[in-house]
């Protein structure tokens, strides 16, 4: 199999759209449902959620980072820069905003923490939308 620039650009676009779908589902469905979980069951629910979503999200995020670096090394344009900056900011938001809240929620239900998680997760939602748009622009430029 030949790995061409076109294949890398297309694969990046697919991964961006996949993660945009995941983050939109997380933002609109999963995180707000945290507010509806019975408090006595919250720790188990949250722990199960984090373990399962991490199995899906972390490998794709790491792949996105590698693809973004590869893209910028192949195509030096504004879209490639935006793609790399977006994924870097997504990682920073995840590490410094969302992960600490999830760690706090390991201790149990906390309405204020859940709302903070919902509010700060808009950052990643917006960044994945920007990354997906820039990825689309790269695809469009190759067609």
Q: What is the DSSP letter of 77?
A: S
Residue 94's H or E segment, with its range, is: none
8 A C-beta contact, residue 70 and residue 8: yes
Which tens digit of pLDDT belongs to each residue from 39-97? 999 999 999 999 999 999 999 999 999 999 999 999 999 999 999 999 999 999 999 99
The domain ranges of the chain are 5-142
Kindly report the pTM of this predicted structure.
0.95
Res 1: pLDDT: 62
8 A C-beta contact, residue 27 and residue 118: yes
The region that residue 108 occupies, defined by phi over 0 for left and psi between -120 and 50 for alpha, beta otherwise, is: left
8 A C-beta contact, residue 19 and residue 61: yes
Q: Say how many C-beta atoms besides its own lie within 10 A of residue 1's C-beta.
A: 4
Q: How far from each other are the two terminal CA atoms of the chain, in whole angstroms? A: 21
**Percentage of the residues of the chain whose pLDDT score is greater than 90:** 96
Structure tokens at 94: 């995840």
Res 143: pLDDT: 73
């Amino acid at each position: 199999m030949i790995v061409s620039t076109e294949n890398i650009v297309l694969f990046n676009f697919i991964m961006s759209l996949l993660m945009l779908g995941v983050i939109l589902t997380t933002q609109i469905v999963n995180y707000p449902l945290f507010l509806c979980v019975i408090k006595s069951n919250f720790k188990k629910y949250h722990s199960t959620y984090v373990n399962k979503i991490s199995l899906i999200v972390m490998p794709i995020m790491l792949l996105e980072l590698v693809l973004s670096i590869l893209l910028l090394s192949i195509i030096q344009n504004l879209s490639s820069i935006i793609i790399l900056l977006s994924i870097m900011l997504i990682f920073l938001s995840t590490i410094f905003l969302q992960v600490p809240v999830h760690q706090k929620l390991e201790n149990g239900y906390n309405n204020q923490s859940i709302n903070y998680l919902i509010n700060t997760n808009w950052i990643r939602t917006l960044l994945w939308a920007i990354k997906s748009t820039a990825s689309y622009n790269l695809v469009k430029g190759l067609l």
